[in-house]
Structure 1
């Protein structure tokens, strides 16, 4: 498993391209933080998770009610590595 610490302001289109992360397209959000908020239905707390296939997205830091940092965990198999 590989982990990345990302800004909540990362554009979902960029993440989809870089990690092959299948975040559904929506006019409701443009950023990773916006996607998490959309999925949770409320401002998430630190430690909240969203899972998309082999990807686990965990809220690492919330500042003043805003998702600031997000941890993205990707399985080795998805990244093309074998054990």
Structure 2
């Protein structure tokens, strides 16, 4: 995997998420990598919180990869929706 740029926390939130300024995908796709217990989940939770505060009209959905197990995202969402009815 090629590392194209590293960001400090606030710089990441403002430059990549708010302004869409990232080297390859204009903020539409991001990859967060790190060792176990490096804080990847914590960062994603902060991104979700920041997004919901900065863009109140947005809908933030958090799905743990552990919850997916072997399902596709579509299968998982369909099964959750069926259970709620």
TM (normalized to structure 2)? Answer: 0.23
Structure exhibiting the larger radius of gyration computed from Cα positions: 2
TM (normalized to structure 1)? Answer: 0.23
More helix by share: 2
* Structure with more relative contact order (C-alpha pairs < 8 Å, separation 6 or more): 1
More strand by share: 1
